[in-house]
């Protein structure tokens, strides 16, 4: 399906980023630097960085789903939103005395808590919900579609319809979801006073630790036999079928992992941003998530993190100063990156390595000497 992938041989790693265990010259300093960020940047910048790192979790999931699995999801916002709403519901309830209702429910005339809110009073249910709700929905949804061998463009279109339906549903069920404004105004989470420097630092380090952990875990997964088969399915699903494998479970697992990471990302983002709303989960944000990964490089975990940071920093800079310009820029980035740079920034670095002049740079960044 994708030209750039045909070159890959299972052992070469390269774009697929499957080299495991090689010393990566840049990784350690970058992580140390990132861990010191609370003392290096302002509180506002730290908050931005924390949000972007949360989003990077989702982006790494897309590397597995889209880059490795060849499954384009235009509905990651749904899973991001489910994770975000799960933790937000808990924070709303935790701030209340028993029997009280969140303020927006009172305003819309509700006199009892909707049944599906009730379990989220428990912190354990909320934390499990962040992971399990998106995971279960994704597993069920993707299994229903993939088992009938509907994939590719069809799957992308169906996920987009999912994103649209989810956002519309959130907006229309205003009394129980907070509607267009979403859920906001959180005070504490798990006994942590939000808004204090201690909470900001703690949540930032939690996010960073998760990013590092997920990076390592996904790298190992991509280097495993599972990763190899996933790429093989991407490049020739029918051939893999003829070899006696059923591709469905491989794709379902990848999609589910992607959704779980999106849910985690959504929950952390909600904690950092202090709000979750339909504007973050609909069709347009969902497809923006894909562009983070496209810019960074759909087959590179490090690229996905870099792409997420780069696109969101640019968005933060451009859209506050020139809101109109941002949409033109975003549209143009879509067109240019996809047509001219399918490997993204990571592909550019890898190509530079292949042509010689940037070989050392490549070794430094990708950590691969082949």
Q: How far apart are CA 7 and CA 3, in angstroms?
A: 8
Of 240, 367, 256, 243, whose CA–CA distance to 301 is shortest?
367
Shorter beta-carbon distance to another protein: residue 70 or 227: 70
State which residue, 156 or 310, has the beta carbon closest to another protein: 156
Residues of 83-107 as b/e, b for ≥16 C-beta within 10 angstroms?
Answer: bbbbbbbbbbbbeeeeeebbebbee
**Is the backbone of residue 292 left (phi > 0), alpha (psi -120 to 50) or beta?**
alpha
User: Are 362 and 352 within 8 A, CB to CB?
Assistant: yes
Q: Which CB atom, from 173 or from 188, has the smaller least distance to another protein?
A: 173
**Burial class, 241, CB count within 10 angstroms (exposed 0-12 / middle 13-18 / buried 19+):** middle
Residue 212 and residue 301 in contact, taking contact as beta carbons nearer than 8 Å: no
Which tokens hold the place of 300?
């590179």
Determine how β-strand 188-189 pairs with β-strand 192-193: antiparallel
CB of 330 to another protein, least distance (A): 6
What is the closest distance, in whole angstroms, from the C-beta atom of residue 51 to another protein in the complex?
Answer: 22
Tell me phi and psi for residue 295, to 5 degrees. -65, -45
Task: Tell me whether residue 150 or residue 190 sits nearer to another protein (CB atom).
Answer: 150
Q: How far is the CB of 6 from another protein (least distance, A)?
A: 11
Pairing mode, strands 275-276 and 183-184: antiparallel
Closer to another protein at the Cβ: 145 or 200?
145
| DSSP three-state, residue 275 | strand
188-189 and 275-276 strand pairing: unpaired
**C-beta of 91: minimal distance to another protein in Å?**
25
- CB of 352: closest distance to another protein in angstroms? 22
Residue 339 Cβ vs another protein, minimum distance, rounded to whole Å: 6
> For binding to another protein (CB under 8 A), which residues are involved?
1-3, 70, 72, 74, 141, 144-145, 148-150, 152-154, 156-158, 160-162, 164-165, 168-169, 171-173, 236-238, 283, 287, 290-291, 294, 324, 327-328, 330-335, 338-339, 342
Residue for token pair 């944000």: 285
Q: In whole angstroms, how close is the CB of 309 to another protein at the nearest point? A: 20
Q: Which is nearer to another protein, 330 or 345 (CB)?
A: 330
Least separation in angstroms between CB 171 and another protein = 7
Do residues 222 and 64 touch, judged by C-beta distance below 8 A?
yes
- 107 vs 328, which CB is nearer to another protein? 328
């Amino acid at each position: 399906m994708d030209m750039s992938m045909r070159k890959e041989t299972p052992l070469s790693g390269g774009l697929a980023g499957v080299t495991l265990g090689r010393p990566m010259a840049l990784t350690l300093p970058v992580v140390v630097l990132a861990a010191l960020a609370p003392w290096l940047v302002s509180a506002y910048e730290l908050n931005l960085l924390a949000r972007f790192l949360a989003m990077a979790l989702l982006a790494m999931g897309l590397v597995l789903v889209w880059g490795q699995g060849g499954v384009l999801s235009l509905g990651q916002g749904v899973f991001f939103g489910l994770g975000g709403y799960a933790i937000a519901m808990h924070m709303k309830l935790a701030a209340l005395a028993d029997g009280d209702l969140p303020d927006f429910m009172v305003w819309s005339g509700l006199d009892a808590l909707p049944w599906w809110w009730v379990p989220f009073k428990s912190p354990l249910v909320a934390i499990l919900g962040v992971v399990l709700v998106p995971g279960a929905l994704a597993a069920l949804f993707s299994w229903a579609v993939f088992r009938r061998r509907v994939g590719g463009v069809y799957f992308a279109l169906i996920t987009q319809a999912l994103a649209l339906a989810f956002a519309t549903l959130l907006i229309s069920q205003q009394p129980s979801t907070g509607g267009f404004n979403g859920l906001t105004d959180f005070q504490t989470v798990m006994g942590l006073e939000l808004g204090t420097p201690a909470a900001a630092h703690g949540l930032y380090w939690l996010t960073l630790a998760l990013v590092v952990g997920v990076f390592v875990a996904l790298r190992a997964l991509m280097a495993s036999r599972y990763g190899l088969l996933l790429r093989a399915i991407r490049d020739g699903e029918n051939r893999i079928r003829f070899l006696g494998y059923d591709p469905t479970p491989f794709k379902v697992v990848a999609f589910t992992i992607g959704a779980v990471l999106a849910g985690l990302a959504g929950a952390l983002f909600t904690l950092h941003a202090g709000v979750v709303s339909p504007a973050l989960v609909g069709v347009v944000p969902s497809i923006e998530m894909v562009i983070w990964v496209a810019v960074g490089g759909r087959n590179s975990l490090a690229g996905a993190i870099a792409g997420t940071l780069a696109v969101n920093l640019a968005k933060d800079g451009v859209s506050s100063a020139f809101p109109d310009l941002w949409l033109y820029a975003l549209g143009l980035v879509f067109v240019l990156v996809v047509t001219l740079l399918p490997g993204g920034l990571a592909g550019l670095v890898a190509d530079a390595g292949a042509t010689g002049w940037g070989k050392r740079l490549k070794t430094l960044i990708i950590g691969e000497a082949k």
